[in-house]
């Protein structure tokens, strides 16, 4: 499988959406792939071209190119299809371990709902136009998961998921994300073994606890 793919602007925008960034220095309105403002854009942005043109009516319109080059391993929103086996990520598997006493350890399959993009990082510059930098996944967009690509276009999860709290995503330290259910299952099994060992209070307490005989003798 080729490491990069060429996609028409029409198909890319249909799959991922687009937004408009204001370049006041160049007096331009620039279309950007995805629906999140890039980290290094400090100007205004608009969700659609009409709103951008209404705010900057004299600015030049710069559309995305007719053909866009992306890493082949670019996640794709699942659009309600769950459980398909494909090398292109359409879902993630999240090991959740917050609130253990009430909810327990669990593995959650989280369909990808949206993909967020940045321009290519320095080590991929000139090879692709954009790279996926994060996905929004799960019921009610519960998780935001940061992504990164290596020099060979291998896709990796950069950090543990942040979890939606109100209108913002916050790090909880109580979730881990994986592309494969097998990896998530292995991690959940490892974590469960650690919990079982941690719960074995008798073994760890035996040396410091008096025996039953000692307790009876002390009572006499």
Inter-residue contact 184 to 94 (CB < 8 Å): yes
22 and 118 both lie in a single domain: no
57 in any annotated domain: yes
For residue 14 the two structure tokens come to 């249909």
> Among residues 108, 133, 105, which one has the least CA distance to residue 118?
133
**Side-by-side strand order, sheet with 60-62:** 45-46, 18-23, 28-33, 60-62
- The confidence score (pLDDT) of residue 207 equals 60
Domain of 44, in residue numbers: 4-69
Class of residue 168 by CB neighbours under 10 A (exposed 0-12, middle 13-18, buried 19+): exposed
pLDDT on residue 84: 47
User: Tens digit of pLDDT per residue, the chain (220 long)?
Assistant: 689 999 999 999 999 999 999 999 999 999 999 989 988 898 999 999 999 999 999 999 999 999 999 999 999 997 544 444 557 889 999 998 877 777 778 999 999 999 999 999 999 999 999 999 999 999 999 999 999 999 999 999 999 999 999 999 999 888 999 999 999 999 999 988 888 888 887 777 866 666 655 555 555 5
According to the model, what pLDDT value does residue 82 have?
45
Residues 39 and 133 in one domain: no
Q: Does one domain contain both 49 and 120?
A: no
Cα 169 from Cα 146, distance rounded (Å): 12
Provide the whole-model pTM: 0.83
**pLDDT recorded at residue 179:** 94
Q: Is residue 119 part of a domain?
A: yes
| Domain annotation covers residue 117 | yes
56 plus 102 within the same structural domain = no
90 in a structural domain:
yes
Do 78 and 65 share a structural domain? no
Same domain? 116 vs 189: yes
Question: What proportions of the chain, in percent to the nearest 5, are helix, strand and coil?
Answer: 25, 35, 40
Residue 20 inside a domain? The answer is: yes
Spatial separation of the C-alpha atoms in residues 87 and 187, rounded to whole Å:
21
60 shares its domain with 86: no
Number of structural domains (the chain) is 2
**Residue 8 sits in the same domain as residue 75:** no
pLDDT at 101: 74
């Amino acid at each position: 499988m080729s490491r990069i793919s060429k996609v028409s602007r029409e198909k890319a925008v249909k799959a991922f959406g687009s937004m408009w960034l204001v370049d006041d220095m160049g007096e331009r309105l620039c279309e950007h792939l995805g629906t999140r403002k890039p980290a290094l854009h400090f100007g205004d942005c608009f969700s659609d071209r009409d709103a951008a043109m209404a705010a900057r009516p004299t600015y030049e319109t710069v559309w995305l190119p007719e053909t866009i080059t992306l890493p082949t391993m670019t996640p794709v929103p699942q659009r309600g299809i769950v459980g398909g086996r494909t090398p292109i990520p359409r879902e993630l598997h999240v090991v959740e371990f917050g609130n253990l006493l009430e909810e327990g350890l669990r593995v959650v399959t989280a369909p990808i709902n949206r993909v967020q993009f940045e321009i290519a990082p320095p080590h991929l510059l000139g090879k692709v136009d954009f790279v996926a930098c994060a996905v929004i996944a799960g019921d009610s967009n519960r998780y935001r998961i940061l992504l990164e690509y290596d020099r060979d276009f291998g896709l990796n999860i950069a950090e543990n998921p942040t979890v939606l709290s109100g209108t913002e995503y916050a790090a909880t330290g109580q979730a881990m994300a994986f592309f494969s259910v097998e990896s998530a299952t292995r991690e959940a099994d490892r974590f469960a073994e650690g919990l079982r060992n941690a719960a074995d209070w008798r073994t760890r307490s035996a040396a410091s606890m008096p025996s039953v005989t000692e307790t009876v003798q002390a009572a006499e």
